[in-house]
Amino acid sequence: MPEAKRQKKIGLVVSSKMTGTVVVAIESSHRHPIYQKAIKRTARIMADNPDNTWQAGDSVIIESTKPLSKHKSWRIVAGEHTADTAPAMAELEVTE
């Protein structure tokens, strides 16, 4: 049986204060139907972060999954660490 298509979105981690969960902000923009002004919307989505590897400021790709908790039904598939939030383990390997 083929795997169902899952939604994927690109966003920015804005909070990682919870254990195993991050909050990802996803921005979208569209034009107002009458006034034609650009409108920017931000959706804040909770995503699974089981190893606590993603911190605030990292850009990530999230994909939909079955509900993991009351508010969490997305998981992080891939991402990119920013320079100031890179894990400390990478710095330790360089200095050895």
- CATH code of 27's domain: 2.40.50.140
Q: Record the tokens describing residue 14, joined without a space.
A: 């804005």
> Could you tell me if residue 87 is inside a domain?
yes
| Listed residue (60, 56, 62, 61) closest to 84, CA to CA | 56
Task: Say yes or no to pLDDT of 70 above 90.
Answer: yes
Q: What is the pTM of this model?
A: 0.76
> Could you tell me if residue 83 is inside a domain?
yes
Q: Tell me: the pLDDT tens digits for 1-34?
A: 456 789 999 999 999 999 999 999 999 999 999 9
Q: Strand 8-15 vs strand 21-31: parallel, antiparallel, or unpaired? A: antiparallel
The total number of structural domains that make up the chain: 1
> Could you tell me if residue 26 is inside a domain?
yes
> Could you tell me if residue 2 is inside a domain?
no
> Could you tell me if residue 44 is inside a domain?
yes
The phi-psi region of residue 88 (left if phi > 0; otherwise alpha if psi is between -120 and 50; otherwise beta) is alpha
Domain that includes residue 70, residue range: 8-95
> Could you tell me if residue 72 is inside a domain?
yes
Distance between CA atoms of residues 54 and 95, nearest Å: 23
- Report the pLDDT value the prediction gives residue 81, as an integer from 0 to 100: 84
> Could you tell me if residue 67 is inside a domain?
yes
